[in-house]
Each structure stands twice: as C-alpha cells, then as structure tokens.
Chain A
Amino acid sequence: MKECVIHREEHGHLDILHLDGSLDAYSFPRLEAALNQLRETNRNRVVLDCAGLDYISSAALGALIGFARRAREQNGDLKLAKLSPKIFNIVELLGFHKILEIHNEVDQAVKSFVG
C-alpha cells in the first residue's frame, strides 16, 4: 500500500489520469485537486488509467461520479480503464458499473470519446 501518485497526460481534447497507489481518505484530496484543476480549465473529457490503483474509497468514487455528472452536462465524461479484478468486483457490487463507463484498456476508453 502506497501513497497515490497521479500523473496527468494530455491527449488532444482529453486527459488521461494515471493512478498509482491507494486512493483512501488520506490521499483523496490529491484526486480532488486533480479533478478541480481539470474542471477549472474546462477539460471535461477524462480517462482514468487504474492499472496501478490498489484501493479506492467511497469518497474517491463519489468524487468521480460528481465529476462525470458535471462533465456530461457539457458533452464530456469521465471513464475508467484497466481496473484490477478485485477493484472491478468492488465497483460492480456497489453498482458503479451502471453509472460510470468502464473499459478494459485505456485505448478503448480514449476511442470511445471519438466514436
């Protein structure tokens, strides 16, 4: 378990946030800051690369839903990619797969914005 590191990569009109570590109540403000920065600059098409994510709290999931809902109002969205099986299991049992779009690969998530 390690502190979450968030690396932002601009990809044309969308942004990919690469997450590495645990998004718990202690590190959650980092995600909040990253999302706020995107919101303030009207960057509302976001893919979250969760390949390195080993834990996510309800607060972080709530922040993702909040961002996705606001982004959709402006024809944007926030999509998840490369969830580990254990985190996908959590997300599915909590019903998040009905609210947030989830892709196996980052490339798929990026292309889904174009299509």
Chain B
Amino acid sequence: MGHEPDNQSHGGMVTLYTPLNYSYARIIRQAIVDLCVHAGMSEFKTAQFEMAVDEASSLIFSAQERSAPEIRDAALPGELSVRLYQDGDQVVVELCHGGEPLEMGESASPENWFGEDDLEATGLFVIRRFVDGLSYQRGTPLGHCLRMSKKK
C-alpha cells in the first residue's frame, strides 16, 4: 500500500473472529504476514511465523473436528479469536478458541513424518521450531488460549 514498514510499536492490536473452520486459515495467515511486514520483520522470519500460526490454527480446527458432534454442532461464528500485536521487539499472536482443548504433547521431527499420520505431532514440531515463546492456557474467560511470539 505504498507505506514503509513501521518499526515502532504504537500499542495497536488487530483482532479477528472466525468460525472454527479450515477455510478461514488463509485469512489468519494473511493477517499475520501483514502484521509482521508492518513490524519490519524479515521475509524469512515472517514465513516461519506464518507457518507456525497456520499449524496452530490447523490443530485447533482439527481438534474441533474430532470433538463430540454436539460440541461441533454448537460451533458458532466467533469461536476462534485471533489477537495480533507488537510487544517491544516481538510480534505476538494469541489464538483463543472454544470446543476441545489441544493436547500439547510430543512433537515429531521430519524423519518420523509419514504421509498424513500424526499431524498433531508434526504441527507441534513446526510451532516449537519457529516461535520464540509459546504457552497454552485452558479454560480462560476467552476460551483455551495459545500464545505465540517471535522476535523481529
């Protein structure tokens, strides 16, 4: 849009609300890429954070798919909130969701990837590889919240 990257934090925050559905993952990815560019993050680090956030979104959508039908049927627009902001020298993304919580278990390195088996373990490997800070809290007032940060 013709503006130079703004390396200063202005305390701004972008929040998206989406249904728990894979088709919204691209919108979330675009938002994180835009924020990283706005923050002056390098192309490589932006791509790494984009992938980590996308894997996290997919894990949340996947957990929702596996949940009991009555929970899945109760899914309403706005069940995933995505908060994006700069905090000093890092970009932060918070994904808060309803439905089933994530199991933040073991991750699997690529040598152990085979086809579409165990997508959770592969997704967690990517997330842990590409973020500098990671936490997951269950049952907050906003739902289950995954917080990821990456330094610029």
> In the complex, which range does the number of interface residues on chain B fall in?
20 to 34
Ranked nearest first, the 4 interchain pairs of A and B with the lowest CB-CB distance are: A66-B115, A86-B47, A25-B58, A62-B113
Measuring CB to CB, which residues of chain B are less than 8 angstroms from any residue of chain A? Answer: 22-23, 25-26, 29-30, 43-44, 47-48, 50-51, 54-55, 58, 61, 109-111, 113-117, 119, 122-123, 125-126, 129-130
Measuring CB to CB, which residues of chain A are less than 8 angstroms from any residue of chain B? Answer: 1, 22, 24-26, 32, 55, 57-59, 61-63, 65-67, 69, 85-87, 89-90, 93-96, 98-99
Q: Cα distance A24–B30 when bound, in Å?
A: 12
Measured CB to CB, the nearest residue on chain B to A57 is B54
Q: Classify the interface of chain B: helix, strand, loop or mixed.
A: helix
Taking CB atoms, residues of chain A closer than 8 Å to B129 are 93-94
Of A22, A57, A69, most buried by chain B (CB within 10 Å of CB) is A57
**Residue contact A22 to B26, C-beta cutoff 8 Å:** yes
Measured CB to CB, the nearest residue on chain B to A25 is B58
Question: Contacts A1-B30, A26-B26, A55-B29; is A95 near B119 (CB within 8 Å)?
Answer: no
